[in-house]
Chains A and B, each alone.
Chain A
Amino acid sequence: MTTRINIGPVHPSTHGVLRLVAEIDGDTVVNLEPHIGFLHRGVEKLVETRMYMQSPPYMEKLDYIAPMSYDEAYVATVEKAMGVEVKERAMWVRTVLLELQRIASHLLWLGTMANDVGQFFTVFMWCFKDRDLVLRLLQEASGARMFYVNMRIGGLIRDLPPGFEDRAREVLDYLDKQVKTYADFLERNPIFMERMKGVGVMSKEMAVDLGVTGPVLRGSGISYDVRKDNPYYVYEKLNFQTQVRSEGDCFARYRVRMLELRESIRLVRDALAKMPAGDAIGMPVKLILPNAKNRIVSVSRELPRGECMMYMVADPQKPYRLAIRSPTFINLAALRHISRGCRTADIFAILGSLDVVMGDCDR
């Protein structure tokens, strides 16, 4: 006989407003059904009614853990539609900011993930404290802590402030040490390893069939990273590796993200060292921009949570239609398949390892 329990939408570890209906037999999960849509705001439709540069603030509210990444993906789509080249220095600055955003996002993930497996807020608090340092850097560069809106067509709203490089290096050195500390803290704990290893296994074939991307895919042994395989901006010129683990369990996904944190730190350091001087300021924000030249464009970006693809049919002054392939939406679909047969407590470990943001999923 199975019991049906309703987890969420108000629950301590459903990462926002996700509702899970779990059918459990004793302590074993027979079926798990995610119910989504509580945070649906109709952004894709809303964008159609706005001029191009009125939309970035909406885009940032999709993924509130990594707002700048979404903003950048949208602005890049608009740039492509207009056929505008991004300035050389702006590309470098954007790369630095995007990687810093990835570090901030992964740090938040690490904290919540530790909470999900029953750590009493310790790693969570540490990560939030460190994330704040990164947010301060982003604030220096853009003027805001959370919703930056600092992308403009062809560049940015402002260049990096003087002294940014030194401060960033200081923070990165500190973070490098901290990430190692957190990894030690968690991985030397046998209970943590027990909770993560062999739990929620997603095989290679399954990962491909489900279409998952990002660290979830790389945790299943497939080396696919948009930054490497379809590079944009200056990723080609930078020194970093795609992190892949073949086990496909929660620990593999955890490990991939931890290694990515270090890779991102390396990437930012590298980019800061190689960054050329020049002008990074984009077009002034006006309501009326040059007419879009290309009718149908699509841009693919590696967000902290996976691959985001923006597909736009462009009218001269505003999008005719914008479709977003959001990474969380597709990664979350895997939850049902990989949590079948696991223990009740593992649902949350698996959910944590998928790193979902419901704003991104529901749009």
Chain B
Amino acid sequence: MAEIRTGELMNMKHGRPPVLMPGFSFGSVTDKIANIVIAERTPLAWWLTFLPCAMLVGVLGTAVTYLFYRGVGIWGINIPIGWGFAIINFVWWVGIGHAGTLISAILLLLKQTWRSSINRFAEAMTLFAVMCAGMFPLLHMGRPWLAYWMFPYPSTMTVWPNFRSPLVWDVFAVSTYFTISLLFWYVGLIPDLATLRDSAVNRWTRMIYGLLALGWRNSARHWRRYESAYMLLAGLATPLVLSVHTVVSFDFSVALVPGWHSTIFPPYFVAGAVFSGFAMVLILAIPIRKLYGLEELITMRHLDNCAKVMLSTGLIVAYGYLMEAFFAWYGTSQYDKYLSWNRAHGPYAPVFWLLILCNVLIPQLLWLRKVRYTPALLFVVSVFVLMGMWFERFVIIVISLHRDFMPSSWGIYIPTRWDWAIFAGTLGFFMAAFLLFIRLLPMITIFEMRMLVHETSEEVKAS
């Protein structure tokens, strides 16, 4: 009998490309993804990206060692700007870490089939971004070896954490988010690890993937519990995604500092997080699909959808900026009014205007179909969005702190080379970890692609 293949169209209406190009069978879609890991040679481009990133990891190690030796005085932070790069980068990385679980959990519950090709690597991206984020509060502590004081445990000092502080909430929010994202990612990987075990030719490869696959044997009884567990995790992760950046925004909005004490912070932070997360997904997906020839699996439809999510969350973020200005103008606080003026005209005004350019003006290009369907342009817009979101955190932290209530306590913050070294180091760590992931694990969920082949096949459509 004829082999099952994907049907001609998933959704060609309105001239949109399908989520999986026609002509794939269970076997060919499996080989396409699994062979990247187990059969093909590592592409030269992989090495050319990995080596500089690995060097940046070395820079990170050096900078952190020196930081532990000398203390946080090597950074540009001072009083009043005690937070500086450490917290800017923390918030930025956590924000990027939102797209993964959003794609895997919320889009799963909404039955969006286009999530299948991008959820695995978006989840990996989430994990690495949250790792980068997690480093910063630890490094910022000054005495990172006492980090365990943040957790409630019966200590000989008989003191306990202050559970009324958003900083303690943050410890719980970020660590829970990381753990649940890791579990979600690993559960998704189990059947694919079994596929790698069964396709491996080399004995060691088979043993390693076999151990990681936990003996998964594709039993229907197992699949049933597996699907229940996966849906439950999606349901649990959905409110979690929204809660993480909400809690991060409480770190600011619960304080009284002008520019922080605002009720719009939670939704505006969550939208900003999704905005930057999808920008990172596009930045990773566009070169990868080209390099590994995955255009038939990660189609223009995926890029188009990501761009639309970016555009809509970008508009929410822009609305947030508008409302901050409106509250300052309409409210009665002279400090809020001054803050708004200071953002646009003070010593850090260029950063504020760059933020408006990158986050509000440039993303409007995404209204044009031509931009959404040209990967190179989409890539450039995404880079601007990521820079814009970083500037946003700079504006929120540095501009708000550097001039608060009393002019006698005003100050200026200038990041040092060590600030930059650690930031660049985490960028290198993120990319190096991500490259290792695409080299060692299937970057697209193979069994879900087989499901997609099944659902779109002529056999099912005929019945």
Mutual binders A and B:
no
Interface residues of A, Cβ cutoff 8 Å to B: none
